[in-house]
Amino acid sequence: MSIKEKDSLYIANTYARFDVEIVSGKGSYLYDDKGKEYIDMCTGIAVNTLGVADEGWIAAVSAQLGKVQHVSNLYYSAPQAELAELLCRRTGMKKVFFGNSGAEANECAIKVARKYAAEKKGAEYNTIITLVNSFHGRTITTLAATGQDVFHKDFLPLTEGFKYAVANDIESVRALVAEGGIAAVMVEPVQGEGGVMPLTREFCEELNALAEEHDILIIADEVQTGNGRTGELYGYMALGLRPDVVSTAKGLAGGLPMGACMMNEKTAGVLTAGSHGSTFGGNPVSAAGALYVMSRLTDELLDEVKEKSDYVFSALKGKSGIKSVSGMGLMIGIETERDAGEVIAKCIENGVIPLKAKNKVRLLPALNIPREALEKAVAVIIEAARI
């Protein structure tokens, strides 16, 4: 049986896979089972921050693997403590809880918000406002947080206590706040799965003020936008949003599973011994990978992300078959005249792997993608979108 046959026979049918089997890679290049080369504009959905097989990252992760691969959270372990310190120093947040995925980081954020509100305002303040078209994960609670009915269908009843406002429409948030019982507002600085749509600075500033007025927490879901993706270390920094809780995952450890929920001075004391936990959370190998990724996310690299972003926006704008370009940093959505799926298929045929977000072609390349590879990929995308 071929890999494709085994996959369809034995793996749960949750993914509509593209007809490509990736076997290896180097930097921003991937190779399939037939040896065909692709420029990677997906990075495993914003996970391989420094591309594939980065030598420094391999050395950092291998060194930790040679020491101990897992330590229970019943004991102290240096890599997670060092990583938590670094995250706090670079964000101004005060404490970190480590999990293994984006959904878990958001579960933690939701638990923190509910406990904070229950203790401070009363148990009836348990509702979290999220946005229409948001994506916050696949667990029953993060599905409830996800403001898209298509994901809810067939899984009802979901966790109670979520209401949906409209992105960049502060009046829609205000109306829900007026209904009472609100613990927090949870937003993605740039909606990823929802079509690569950034929040506006104005909306973020109004949200800061509204949250402060009503003692409502702001949760920034930085699972996709975090760790340099937007050209700032975290997307909220680019928008002037002032979150009390920040969740992140995807690119944090550069390719290993890791999620983090960061809490500011207001929320740092909410979680107490026994109130939350994770067996794998803060795994030393993942933490070593994340420490290395963080060491590479310098101001120079972040400036490079912004420059490359400017290049992609200006190269794509106004080209035949391209209706609009949205996003921030190296998180870019392209609205095409032709069906996005068709454009993506054409790109893959021509050796470039982008991905999809709603009806858009989405680009999430490695932050250190060489300029030459980026230019080649953009040329292929332009050609594939041409009408």
Ligand X SMILES: *Cc1c(COP(=O)(O)O)cnc(C)c1O
- Contact residues for ligand X, defined by CB under 6 A: 101-103, 106, 135-137, 188, 192-193, 221, 223-224, 249-250
**Within 10 Å of residue 66's Cβ, how many Cβ atoms?**
8
Q: Which is nearer to ligand X, 136 or 385 (CB)?
A: 136
Q: What is the DSSP string of 366-381?
A: -TT--HHHHHHHHHHH
* Cα 340 from Cα 178, distance rounded (Å): 40
Q: Which is nearer to ligand X, 27 or 198 (CB)?
A: 198
Tell me how far, at minimum, the Cβ of 252 lies from ligand X, in Å: 10
Q: Which is nearer to ligand X, 102 or 195 (CB)?
A: 102
* Cα 273 from Cα 265, distance rounded (Å): 18
Tell me how far, at minimum, the Cβ of 327 lies from ligand X, in Å: 13
What phi and psi, each to the nearest 5 degrees, are found at residue 212?
A: -65, -45
Question: Which amino acid, residue 34?
Answer: K
Q: Nearest-CB residue to ligand X?
A: 102
Q: Which is nearer to ligand X, 137 or 365 (CB)?
A: 137
Tell me how far, at minimum, the Cβ of 31 lies from ligand X, in Å: 25
Q: Which is nearer to ligand X, 131 or 378 (CB)?
A: 131
Q: How far is CA 194 from CA 27, 188, 191, 328, in A?
A: 28, 10, 5, 14
Query: Cβ contacts of residue 272 below 8 Å, gap of 6+?
Result: none
At residue 48, the 3 state secondary structure works out as coil
What phi and psi, each to the nearest 5 degrees, are found at residue 84?
A: -60, -45
Q: Which is nearer to ligand X, 127 or 224 (CB)?
A: 224
Tell me how far, at minimum, the Cβ of 223 lies from ligand X, in Å: 4
Pick the closest to residue 134 from 208, 44, 196 (CA basis).
196
